[in-house]
Amino acid sequence: MGRYEETEDKAVLILIRKAEAKMNRTAINVAKAAVGAAILAYLINFAGASKLYDTLISMKLAYIPPIIAVLLLSIAIRALNFKVLLLPHENKERTFKLKSLVRISFISWAAGIFTPGKLGEFSSIYMLKKEGLDTSTSAAVSMLNKVLSTVTLFPFAIVGLVKLFGVTESVHRLQIAAAIVALTLVPYFMLTSAWSRELMKKIFAKLIRRYERQFAGFVDELDNYLSRRRKLLLYSLALNFLWIAISSWLVILAFAAFGQRAGFVNTALINSIGTVTSLIPVTIGGTGVREATAVVFFGKVGLSSAVVLSSHIIMAALSFAFAGLVILATLFGKNR
């Protein structure tokens, strides 16, 4: 009888701890949503509510279809990244159809929209497992996809910061050109050098120690990519540069919808800074942080805060609306 009561007490304690953890996560997410809302409220006040309203209603609606098309293209191109990284795991019995990878890209992107730091993008691990991969390989591919897309942004973000904070007009063009050429090689060497491979292996080994049984082989699989599949990493980096270009054209189209022109180089640099800062998990999906970054940096190249904020509000609204539809379609599909 005593053992039964002890077991029952442990079960109750576990349930209580799970409930507390869920409540803590909910409270944290509410706090992050509040932070994002507060930042947006400040930006609206900074730009001027009436001016922002006038700018929003002046939008040329003819630009909405191309904006949506480029947005969808920027998401779909992630599937090519998955395809490249999965090539070593294809054989006569198993191939990964691009259609399935596009679906995984859209669902993981949508999950990232609604989570701090876009951590929901790692839902691709679960979906890749359903495609026949083991947990370690799914985790390695998903992790590399995320790491590569992030480190590719850093050279552009660094160059953007240098360009917009103190490089004189007479020499900055040559410096920027040289910096871009040099820094585009940085992600590749960072990921493939011996010391960085050992560092990443140690970091990931510590991170997954708690789930060692589920992720057995993850570190070895990651090392295989970093040491023996470098050509695939180069292909993936090239696709990420293409993704940056497409994402930049999305912003340019959004500005054009309000009658503003923005140079491609400036847009690519500033958009990279905004994307990097949006990964800081202080708000849901980077909402507020991304818009604040855009207002500050695009303001430095002569764009009005009302136009910058209006264009980013439109892009965010379309992104959230489409992500919501993707999530609903996924849930509805599961329940059928």
Helical (H) or strand (E) element with 216: none
Report whether 76 contacts 263 (CB < 8 A).
no
Please state, in angstroms and rounded to a whole number, the distance separating the CA atoms of residues 165 and 203: 33
Q: Please count the CA atoms within 13 angstroms of the CA of 12 that sit on its side-chain side.
A: 6
Please state, in angstroms and rounded to a whole number, the distance separating the CA atoms of residues 290 and 116: 13
Q: What CA–CA distances, in Å, run from 106 to 69, 248, 308, 332?
A: 14, 19, 26, 15
Q: Who's near 237: CB < 8 A, 6+ residues apart?
A: 148, 152, 184, 187, 188
Handedness of CA 325, 330, 331, 332 (dihedral sign): positive
Best CA proximity match to 39, nearest among 277, 251, 291: 291
Report whether 94 contacts 132 (CB < 8 A).
yes
State pTM to two decimals: 0.76
Please state, in angstroms and rounded to a whole number, the distance separating the CA atoms of residues 193 and 251: 35
- Where exactly are the structural domains of the chain? 2-335
Q: What is the pLDDT along the chain (336 residues), one digit of tens a residue?
A: 455 445 544 554 455 455 545 555 666 677 778 888 888 899 999 989 999 999 999 999 999 999 999 999 999 888 898 888 888 888 767 788 888 999 999 999 988 888 766 777 888 888 888 888 877 788 888 888 888 888 888 888 888 877 777 555 434 554 555 555 455 555 545 555 555 556 555 655 555 555 545 455 566 666 677 667 778 888 888 898 999 999 999 999 999 999 999 889 899 999 998 888 887 777 777 788 889 899 989 998 889 999 999 999 999 999 999 999 999 988 877 655
